[in-house]
Amino acid sequence: MFNRRHKINFLDEKWNPIKLNVNLNFIPRTHELVFLNSKYYRVANVIHNIDKSIAIYVIIELYTDDFNLLDKK
């Protein structure tokens, strides 16, 4: 039950697909950072569609590091 993998679809603010059907052990929460395609994104919203099949959509936006939280190498 707790080791279930979820198929998650990552969408941008305009609901354009960024990465589809990603298998993860957890569902990202709002305001968490996600690393995709060599960039950091902030989770803006998580949407669960419970219809005939369960679909999880994570709305993400490009993270701008205003507070210098990320290490620069």
Short-list 24, 10, 3, 20, CA closest to 57: 10
pLDDT of residue 1: 47
Q: How many other C-beta atoms lie within 10 A of the C-beta of residue 60?
A: 24
pLDDT in tens, 4-59: 788 999 999 999 999 999 999 999 999 999 999 888 999 999 999 888 778 899 99
- Residues 65-68: contacts with CB within 8 Å, 24+ apart? 65/40
- Scanning the structure block, which residue is given the tokens 């690393």? 35
